[in-house]
Every structure is written in C-alpha cells, then in structure tokens.
Structure 1
Amino acid sequence: MICNNLYTDVDNKWCKRCETHVLRKNFTNCTSGNEIIDDFIEEKQLEISKPQDIVFEWISYDKFVDVKEMDKNDFSTVYLAQWKNGPLYWDEKSKKYIRNSKEVVLKYSHNLQNVDEFLNEVKTYLIKFKIYGMSQNPDTKDYIIVLQDENYCIMCNYWYTDVGYKWCKRCETYKLKKNFTNWTSENEIIDNFIKEKQLEINDSQDIVFDWIPYDRFLGIKEVDKNEFSTIYLALWKDGPLKYNANIRDYVRTPNELIKLKCLRELSTFYKRLLLFQNTTNEFLNEVKRFSLVNTYKIYGISQNPNSKEYIIVFNDYCKKCDKTSAMLLHRRCNSCLTNHLKNDFILRTSGNKQIDNFVQEIRLKIKNYDDIVFEWIPHDQFNNIEQIGKGGFATVFSAIWKDGLLRYDTSKDLYIRNLNTKVALKYLYNSQNITYEFLNEVKAYSVNNSGNILKVYGITQDPNTKDYIIVLQYAEGRNFEYWLFNNYKYFNWTNKLKILNNIISGLKEIHQKQMVHRDFHVGNILFDEIFVIYSNVNLYISDMGLSREVDNIDKTSIYGVMPYVAPEVLRGKSYTQAADIYSFGMIMYFVATGRQPFYNRAHDGLLALDICEKVSRPEINVPEAPECYIDLMKKCWDTDPINRPDATKIEESIKLLCNSYFDHNSINKDYEIEKQFKEAETYRRTKNLSVPNNINLDTHPQAVFTSRLLNSFTNDLKTECIDLMY
C-alpha cells in the first residue's frame, strides 16, 4: 500500500521493501557504539525475507532482568534471563511488528572482547540457533549472544540429548569428569568402575552412580539376612543426584530411604563357583549381576569402615510391608499395590464370571505404578456418547467417563481417579458370546503403559444389545487418513520421517514382546492431536487383535484390509511378525504419497491374485520419494517373508534417514541420502501443496479400507497361485 508494490507476503500484508525501510530508519535508536558491530546488525536486519524471520538487534544490557546462571565452562557462561520488552515479531492481527516480554538465553564469551572474533562466533551460532541479537555486559565488557532457548545445547553447539529436559550428554559427562578428583574410594578398581558407570548415562532420568561415604547413612537397621548377604534399611542424608530441568543441573534429594546390601564371605562363595578370583572384582561383578537381574535403582557403592565389607546402595524398599525382594512400584511392592486396589476400591462386577475373572487376571499383571488399572465399567458411567468411526467389526464412539481412570498419585501414595476422562468406546458387533480366546488377546496388551501403543482402560456392555464394549484411550487426532487431511500442508519429509520413526518404534515394542499385530494399516494408527504442534507428533498403534469377529474361533479366517495383508497370509499361512513388516511397507507408501495402496482398484479376488502371483505392488518412483526410501519400502513388501527386515533393522534404517536429512550434528550422516530427501521435498512443495496431498483422488467404489473377513476372495489362491516359497 505504501510503496505501490505487491506484498511480499499477501496473507500477512507484509512488504519487505517497506519493513526494511522502517528498520533502517529506526536503526539509530539503539546501537552498540561499535561501527563494525552496528554494520553487522544492520546487514542482518536487511536480510529478512518474510514476516516470521527474527529481527536481529543490539539489545541494551539493562533490558534483561532475573538473570540466573545456568551453566559454565572455561570459555563461556550461560544465563537465563527475562528480556523486559522482548523481541520484535510480526503480529498477524494488527499487521505490524510488536514486542512481548520473553525468556531468553544469554551466552557470555569470556576473553573474547575482540570484535572480529566475537562476530565469527555469532556467525557460527546463526547456522544452528535462533539468535535475537547481541549485547554487552557494561562491567566486564564481555560480549553476549542473545538466543532463543530451543533444541541445541548452547555450551557445546550440539543437539540436546533430551530436548524436553534440555539435557546434553556431552556437557554433563564433561562435568562429571571434572568432578572425578573430588571423591575416591581409595581403591583404584572401584574408582574406575564408578567413573565408567557415571559416563554411561544417556538420559536426564538416568541415575548418576556414586561413591557414598558410609557416614552419610543414618538409622541403619537390619531387615533381611541370608547365607551370603545382609540387607539394611537406612536414610541417606545427602540423597542421590537427580537432574532438575528448571535449573538445568543435578541436585541432591536429601533424606532418601534406601537399602544397603552387604556381601559377606563374597570371596569364598565365588571361588566355590569358580567364577572370580579377586575380592574387589567379585564385588563389582556382583553389582553388575544385581543390576541386570533386578529392576532396582542402584545408587552406588559404599564400604563399612569397620568390617571392610563392600555395600551395594539401592532403592528397593516397600514402606508398607518392609519387603526386600518385591518389585517396587514407587515405594510399594507389587503385593501391597494389588492389595490396595482390592481393599480401597470395590471391584465392580459384570455379572459374568468369565469377564470378572478376566478383569482380575489383568489386575494381577500390574508390575509398575504407572500401569493401567483395568476395570469393569458400568455403562451408565458414560455420557456425551458420539459416533466417530465405523468398521467391519465394530463402531467407535467418543464418550466422557464420569468417574474416570484410576491412576497412582506418587505424592499422595495412593490411587485416585481422573474425573471426566474422555475415552473411546469400541462397540463389538455380535459379541454377546465373546470368546475367552478373544479376551486373552485383549489381555496381552491391556496393562503396560507403552508410549506408542493405544491404552486399554477396561470393558463394559451395552445394556440393550448386550454387546461388549472395549474402553480405550481417546486419540483426538483420530486415524492417519483423517489426520493427514487436516495436516497435508505441514506433511513435509521431516515430519514424514518422524512419524515413521514413531510407528516402527511401536511395532518393534510389540514384536519384542513376541506378539503380532495382524491388522496393521493406517486406520489403526491414531494421533494424539488433530494438528501438528511445534513439529511434535504423538501417535499410537491401536486394535491389536481387536479387528475380527469376536465370536469366531476359526483359525483359518483371514481378516484385514486387503492391500495391507501379506501375500502369504492371503494364501492361508499364519500371521507372523514378517506379515506386520509387509503392512509397514504399505504404510511407508501412504506416508510417501498420501495415497492408500491400490486405491484405484477393486479389492476383490483379482487383486488378491495379482498381489500373490504377479507380485503387484503400488506404483511409486523418484522424485515422489527418495530412492533410499523406496529401496527400504520394497524390502518390507518383499514376496518372501524371510527377505523382509525385522522391526529393529527398519528402525535403524529410518534413524539413518533422519540423521542424514535433518539432524545436522549427527556423526552418522550420509550426504547422498540428504541430497535425495532435499530433492523429494522440493518436488513435494511444487506438486502437492495446492491439494490435500492426493487425498481427494477418485477411490474405486469397491476399494475397502476397513478391516473385514477376506476368505471369500482368497479361497482359490492356494491352487491358483504359483507357490514359489513353500
């Protein structure tokens, strides 16, 4: 409007010519007083090309308040601070730049008062970090880089190992190494072992293994004893080191109740087993063995100064019953937790002995305090019931569960309910005569709180039809196809790979438990949110064992979505983990193209025959997907199940693709892979952004993408299909 040229960004009514003119006009309002720095800042400001770009600034030091030191090394110190008026950002409503107070990171560069050296460091940081600008401490004259607090560790310039907690393995192990001289057991072998254990930490939640002086324990009380060891209960005055994300450092949690395992006659015992010769080595091997065969947290090692016995310090203590051999669930043993559930919560009964026994069996499987407490839930507990989906064997509704899910409150040390929990209700057709075999499949994955597997909360029954209903975790984003329709603009190759990585992680978890999904397709991949939020996409694998007729015990029945069913299964062979991998290959096709496999064909006997005999697969070529991606996908849908990679190998392959394409600090980077993905992304942007990523393509009227019984299409395959493998 002002310069009579077209807007650079029409939607935001943003004009590069006009906005850079305003910036140039206002530049003299805040300068560093150093001509070289001011020229650099002005140059960066004039580089903005869209309204979302950061406006680089010189920021007067008095604009920062609540400055707190977060980290330090020999070369720099990092602080968190509140920038009072905050950075300039484009407001879409007012169509102008405004400011809002913001928390920022200040990186002081020590002994770097030479302007050229400082600007070289700034240029290096601009490659990886979002930088708001520069400042200078008026007292020390140290130059300061002002950064957005995001995914990179500012101290070492590498990605945080744990982005959520801003935890960097490289920096934390460096600090532990520097601290090695501040403690000693006075035994070189023990010291080296502890150092080795400390440097093995890979996560912010990992325990920092310690040498703990014996005088740090209070109230030592014997609680158990056998031929080889004595167990004591004690209070550890200092407590273990735990990472505090708020201050980004390790702090001790004092007065931790712990167990001490003192090993008596260790040398004689192990010599008898002909395993070890040296007492110290025997003890350390016992520590390793103890940590492998138990789920206890081992905090470290100590030594009784009088008896010279070495001690394993661990956290196995049930404050309700003082048991030492129980698996602990946040200070309660398994037995105490299940008794608590029995005594404090009236077990609702279904009136069906088989169902009630089934619910009890699942409850007895609880092994962790965050495991799901499976329940029989009266149908009148649900309101606001609305249909959200329909398949071949069930209809799915959303609902509000009035009492809500039972969860263990660690602060109160008891189970409480999450009132008005939103859930999904899966009404199973013709399930009045539900089979025990079907219930066993539900039981197989109904307790563990797995990250990428949809949680099962319980079971209920429709009072009118008497059909049974599985009560499931509600996924707001619904299934993959629904989610993609709402997110096609953001479905770039970075998000595609992140989603595939989540899916294969969930499938690997299923396979590691020696289970098979048997109906793996995009309709059974559900999303936590409808829209992409900050590129973080949480998803769940659903319907393990639930996509079939509930009252059918015929093991020769073939269920599924035909394009996702492996050829050997269509021919009557058993479902295997390799069959799931074939299905994953078809999911890779959907991720790459936005199209369902064989969307343009009738899903009938001819398609089944083509899949088996003619080895028909959906068409896809470079540049629609990178060649390396297509190669992996084709390995997954190989006709011979023996040739398909397992879930672990696929996960490794996908991580290599991720590392090569968007993890710029990875040491396992393949530049050819990066090049292929960049070309595919360019193709995606030019071809697919104008339509919902091929979703509106004409689907054949006889293409069915819900699970159903397929035997009527496959009965002739055993005789008509050339048997190449069996």
Structure 2
Amino acid sequence: MWMDGPLKYDKDEMKWKNMPNKEVTLKCVYNSQNIINKFLNEVKSYPNKIYGLSENPDTKNYIIVLFQDHYCKNCNEIYTGNERWCKLCQVNNLKENFANWTSGNEKIDNLIQEMQLKINKCEDIIIEWIPYNQFNHIKEIGKGGFATVYSAIWKDGPLKYKYGEMKYEKMANKEVALKCVHNSQNITSEFLNEVKKYSLNGDDYILKIYGVSQNPNTKDYIIVLQYAKGGSFNNYINNDIINWFWSEKLRALRHIIKGLKKIHENKIVHRDFHTGNILLSFIDYYSTESENHIGNVYVSDMGSCEEISNIDETKIYGVMPFVAPEVLKGKPYTQAADIYSFGMIMYFIATTKQPFANCAHDSILASKICYGIRPEINELEAPKCYIDLMKRCWNPNPDNRPSANEIKELIKLFESDHKEEIKIQFEKVEEYRKANLISIKDNRSTTHPQAFYTSRLLNPFTKELSKCDNDYNTSVEVIDFTK
C-alpha cells in the first residue's frame, strides 16, 4: 500500500493532489545497483503502467512501482491484454488439470492438450474432452457421406472468462452441433487434422470448436462445434435469401471472404467450398423497410482442408458447379480453386439461384465447365463492379484470379459510399430487386433430379478430362446453361 499515493489532477480545484492508500505492485530487481543500464531498460519496457521508482534501504536494490491492476498477483507477470488475464497462470492451471480427465485414447488426449496450451487470450475457447452423457436433446439435423450432424444441449457448457471476477465459469445448457464422423472408431490422421483445422477459430467467421466426444454405442468420435441456428445457405434457396437487401448480401460475402482469408493465411486450402458449407447464425435477425440483419455468417466443414504442401491429387471431391475446371482436369487443389468456388457463391447470393441447377451434374457438365461454360446472370440483378469481380473469380486461368485479400478489400469498397459510381450501381440493382421480387422468385428454375448440391466423389465424371490439351481456355463463355 502506497500511503501518499500517486498524483492526480483535480479538475474542480485545478491542481494536482495525491491519492492516498493506493494499492500498487513492487517489482524488486536483484543486484540492480550494479546493473543500472539493464535496470533502466526494464523500466522503459513498462510504458503507461508505472508510477515510479524506489529503493530498498537495506539491500540497495532498486524497485519498480507498478499499477496493481496490470500485474498478476500469483506470478507478478504482466497481464495479457487489458482484461486482467494471465496467460502463464492459465496455461499452468490447464497443465495441472491434465491428470483429471482422459478420453481413453492417447492421441486424442495429446491433441486436446496441445490445443489447450495454444491459448493466447482470454476470449479463446478452451477445447475440452466432453463425455457423451453431457449431451441432452440430441436431434439429427444433417447427414452426409462421411458424417451425421446433430443439435444438442451441452449441460455443463464451455468455459468462459468473467472479466469482473477474473475467473472462468461454465456456460450451462449451451446449444451445440455434434459432428459424428462415420467409422472413426480407429483414430486416423484425417480426423485429428480436421480437429486442428477448426482451431483456426481465432477468426469470427470460421465455425468454432468446443471439443471432442465419443458415442459410447458406435464408438464413433464426435467434433463438438458452435451451433449455427440458421443452417446453411442451401436452406434458403427458396426462402428468406430472396428478401436480402444488397447491403446484407455484401455483409454476408464480407464474412465469408474473411473466413476464407484466414484459412489461406494459414497456408491451407478449403477444397470443398460451396453454399452448403456456409452457415448462418440468425442470433440477431431482424428486418426493417430499408435493411434486414441475418446475424453472422460462418465458413464450416474444415474436414476437407489440407495444407498446400500435402494435397492428394487423386481424389476429386465436392459439388461439381463449385469445383474449378483445373481441378476437374486432375490438377491439384490450390487457393485459387477456392477463389473459383467463391465466385459461384457470389453468383448464388446475387441471383438466389444455384449455379447449373436445371441440368445433370455429370460428365457432360464437367466437360462444358472445363471448356468455359459459366452460369448466366441478368445484368439488372447485380452491379457491373460485382459481376466483373465474380467473373475474375471464374477465370479459367487460376493465376488470373484475385486473392482472398484483394476480394475482401473490393467488397469493403463496395460497402462504402466513397465512390459515387459504385454507389449508384448498387442503388439501381436494389431498386430492381424490390420491384421484381415476385418475378425473380418465379423465374428460378426447378432443380434437376441429377443436380447434387452435397459433396461427393467426382472422379467417375472426370476420367477423360485429364486428356484435355488446352490447360486454360481463356475465352469464358457465359451462357444460361440452366435452361
């Protein structure tokens, strides 16, 4: 306790006054009388967090007088960020707790421990092993070739840091999604890698992971994920997406490209980027006459993600209209292939139609895509600047496609009012959208019975495409191939 306390300016009395009985932290630096330069450099390392200096009269060691609120009372280390959270103490607490839980599988235990120790700030989710009996109200919400997804209530819920109380508390009765991976009884590197890929959740636009569990009956492992109440974009092909204002369409695209940018920054390729893997939260959905708010938008299904240096070229997997032509011809997935897929997501958001919805997704379509066929868009439906960007994403030469970062900056430009020409373009298409809601809905074609918008193996439809001798057909023919 500093009896006199620091000086503070009193605005009423217009003078400096001491604040008595101020709690402070004293950092006593050993042998500092003999290493004065090193001591002074340490003092300089505490800008805006130091009251002053002192000296112990007995040892002659110098003392740094620090703000109490910025230093951990347990270890005297500076707090991480401004939330009075100590990374060192939290990591030590997690290590001490390792002995109190186990999945029964050494590989799973090691993975969870590794991910827990990567915690870097108090907002980071602490990945856990979650016993299956922690889940209530389990309901199937989706099924694919490799996994079944359920919604559930996690009774204890995840840990969350309480700033005021400076401690973690459980968020009870948390609604989550359970991704049950088929035939995962024997742990594979693919399963472990998928869990790791979800740990990119420092980004707000990638679905968050809470932990791992196991079904005691099937022995299949489960990835416990954030639950997106709105479901995927595929759910809205015939519903609310037609009512989205252009401001919300751009906001959704901004969220999606930020998620993809995060993936690419980590030297990863998504490899299965389509509307079924874009989820909506609808946490704060509301609508007015001028805009509607759809909540957050998330990139999901990180299971197909691979590091750029470790991509299997033999399997072509995905939703055919969203797969880049070079991939259909047997060339490796690249980040540019993800950008091609993003261009198709742009088409869906602009038109509320799936690309190539009214034709079979077979070897004929695969061949036409490789020879330059792209979906047609009515120029009244989307601004020229938007269509130009979308077509750049569709470019048959992957080297000519924009990067995720460039797309993010362009969408940011579209959202701003700084360029009058762009602003006018979006105002015109918004007027067209409002005036033609019924006709836009009526003009949407019926989905062909052999059009598939869930991921599947495409190799049976691409066997002959590798023989194509024109690597990149530079003339893209954009026609309405849905008729």
Distance in 2 separating the partners of 1:429 and 1:301:
57
Aligned to 1:638: 395
2:468 maps to what in 1? 720
Secondary structure of the 2:39 match is strand
Give the C-alpha shift of residue 595 in structure 1.
0.6
Q: Which amino acid aligns with 1:712?
A: P
Q: Using the alignment, how far apart are the partners of 1:220 and 1:348 within structure 2?
A: 36
**1:643-694 deviations in whole A, cap 9, x for unaligned?**
111112111111221113xxxxxxx2x2222222222122222322466586
Q: Is the 8 A contact 1:301 1:313 kept in 2?
A: yes
Write out aligned runs for 1:656-695 (5 A).
656-660=413-417, 668=418, 670-689=419-438, 692=441
Verify the 8 A CA contact 1:594 1:693 in the aligned structure 2.
Answer: no
Q: 1:486 to 1:405 in 2, by over 3 A?
A: farther
- Residues 428 and 555 of structure 1: CA distance in aligned 2, closer, same or farther (over 3 Å): farther
Counterparts of 2:65 and 2:261 in 1: how far apart (Å)? 38
Q: Which residue of 2 aligns with 1:615?
A: 372
Post-superposition shift, 1:456?
0.7
Which residue pairs with 1:527 in the alignment? Answer: 280
Among candidates 62, 73, 80, match of residue 319 of structure 1: 73
Of 691, 699, 704, 2:447 maps to 699
2:112 to 359, 362, 370: 359
Q: For residue 215 of structure 1, report the CA deviation from its aligned partner.
A: 11
Cα distance, 1:346 vs structure 2: 6.3
Distance, in Å, in 1 between the alignment partners of 2:161 and 2:25 is 29
CA contact (8 A) 1:527 1:540 kept: yes
Give CA-to-partner distance per residue, 1:528-580, whole Å, 9 cap, x none: 117832533311111123589xxxx9552222111111222222333222221
The one of 547, 567, 589 equivalent to 2:347 is 589
Residue 230 in structure 1 maps to residue 39 in structure 2: yes
Instruction: Give the distance between the partners of 1:220 and 1:318, measured in 2 at CA.
Output: 9
Does the Cα contact within 8 Å between 2:313 and 2:330 map onto a contact in 1?
A: no
Q: Which fold has the larger relative contact order, with Cα–Cα distance below 8 Å and residues 6 or more apart in sequence?
A: 2
For 1:694 and 1:506, locate their aligned partners in 2 and report how far apart those are by CA, in whole Å: 32
Q: Pairwise mapping of residues 162-177 of structure 1 onto structure 2 (< 5 A)?
A: none
Superposition deviation, residue 527 in structure 1:
0.8
Contact 1:365–1:447, Cα closer than 8 Å, also in 2: no
Q: Verify: 1:413 aligned to 2:163, yes or no.
A: no
Q: Runs of 5+ in structure 2 lacking a partner? A: 1-10, 56-63, 474-483
Cα deviation for residue 386 of structure 1 reads 0.8
Q: CA–CA distance in 2 between the matches of 1:513 and 1:619?
A: 34
**Deviation digits for residues 497-521 of structure 1 (CA, Å, limit 9, x no counterpart):** 1211222222222223333222111
- What residue identity is the alignment partner of 2:386? Y
Q: What is the match of residue 481 of structure 2?
A: none
- Of 43, 49, 64, 1:262 maps to 43
**What is the aligned length?**
442
Counting only pairs closer than 5 Å after superposition, residues 117-156 of structure 1 correspond to structure 2 as none
Q: 1: distance between equivalents of 2:161 and 2:369?
A: 49
The 3 A distance-change label for structure 1 pair 505 and 314 is: farther
**Cα distance between partner residues in 2 of 1:218 and 1:230:** 23
2: CA distance, partners of 1:439 / 1:526: 23
List per-residue Cα deviations over 1:196-216 (Å, max 9, x = no partner): xxxxxxxxxxxxxxxxx9999
- SS of the residue aligned with 1:262? helix
Q: 1:403 to 1:302 in 2, by over 3 A?
A: closer
What is the percentage of aligned positions where both structures have the same residue? 51
Q: Which residue of 1 aligns with 2:386?
A: 629
Q: 2:124, 2:315 → 1: CA distance?
A: 33
607 and 447 in structure 1: CA distance in 2 versus 1, 3 angstrom threshold: closer
> 2:89 is matched with which residue?
336
1:216-248 CA deviation, whole Å, 9 max, x = no partner? 9864622457865438xxxxxxxxxxxxxxxxx
Residue 467 (str. 1) matches residue 220 (str. 2) = yes
**Aligned CA distance change for structure 1 residues 216 and 633 (closer, same or farther; 3 Å):** farther
- Superposition deviation, residue 637 in structure 1: 1.4
Aligned residues of 1:389 and 1:396 also touching (Cα < 8 A):
yes
Larger radius of gyration: 1
2:253 is matched with: 500
Determine if the alignment matches structure 1 residue 539 to structure 2 residue 294: no
- Does 2:408 match 1:651? yes
Residues 329 and 367 of structure 1 are in contact (CA less than 8 Å); yes or no, is this contact kept in structure 2? no
Cα distance 1:673–1:219, how it changes in 2: closer, same or farther (>3 A)? closer
Cα drift, residue 355 of structure 1? 1.4
Mapped contact 1:564–1:583 kept (Cα < 8 A)? yes
Question: 1:322 is matched by which residue type in structure 2?
Answer: N
Deviations 1:125-156 (A, max 9, x none): xxxxxxxxxxxxxxxxxxxxxxxxxxxxxxxx
Question: 1:706 is aligned with what amino acid?
Answer: T
* Residue equivalent to 1:664: none
Q: State the alpha-carbon separation in 2 of the partners of residues 356 and 405 from structure 1.
A: 18
Change over 3 Å in CA distance of 1:316–1:595 after alignment to 2: same
Residues 554 and 481 of structure 1, relative CA distance in 2, 3 Å threshold: closer
CA distance in 2, matches of 1:497, 1:521: 17
Rounded to whole Å, the distance in 2 between the matches of 1:602 and 1:487 is 26
Q: How does 1:198-213 map to 2 (within 5 A)?
A: none
The CA distance in 2 between the partners of 1:345 and 1:401, in whole Å, is: 21
Paired residue for 2:154? 401
Using the size of structure 1 for normalisation, the TM-score is: 0.55
Q: Give the superposition deviation at 1:632.
A: 0.6
Q: TM-score, normalised by structure 2?
A: 0.81
Give 4+ residue runs of structure 1 displaced > 6 Å after superposition. Answer: 213-218, 300-306, 310-315
Aligned residue for 2:302, secondary structure, equals coil
Do the aligned partners of 1:373 and 1:447 also contact (CA within 8 Å) in 2?
Answer: no
Residues 197 and 303, structure 2, Cα contact 8 Å, conserved in 1: no
| Counterparts of residues 434-513 of structure 1 (less than 5 Å) | 434-446=187-199, 448-483=201-236, 485-488=238-241, 490-513=243-266
Q: What is the identity, as a one-letter code, of the residue corresponding to 1:623?
A: L
> Residues 400 and 422 of structure 1 are in contact (CA less than 8 Å); yes or no, is this contact kept in structure 2?
yes
Q: Does 1:571 align with 2:352?
A: no
* 2:26 corresponds to 1:221: yes
SS of the residue aligned with 1:385?
strand
Q: Which of 338, 342, 367 in structure 2 is aligned with 1:580?
A: 338
Distance, in Å, in 2 between the alignment partners of 1:556 and 1:621 is 37
The aligned residue for residue 59 of structure 2 is none
- Structure 1 alignment gaps of length 5 or more: 1-178, 184-212, 232-259, 264-289, 291-295, 661-667
C-alpha deviation, 1:376, in angstroms: 1.6
Alpha carbons of structure 1 residues 462 and 693: separation in structure 2 relative to 1, 3 Å: farther
- Secondary structure of the 2:161 match is strand
Q: Secondary structure at the match of 2:192?
A: helix
| Matched residue, 2:125 | 372
Could you say what the CA RMSD is over the residues aligned between the two structures, in angstroms? 3.6
Partner of 1:711: 459
Q: For 2:260 and 2:200, how far apart are their aligned partners in 1?
A: 17
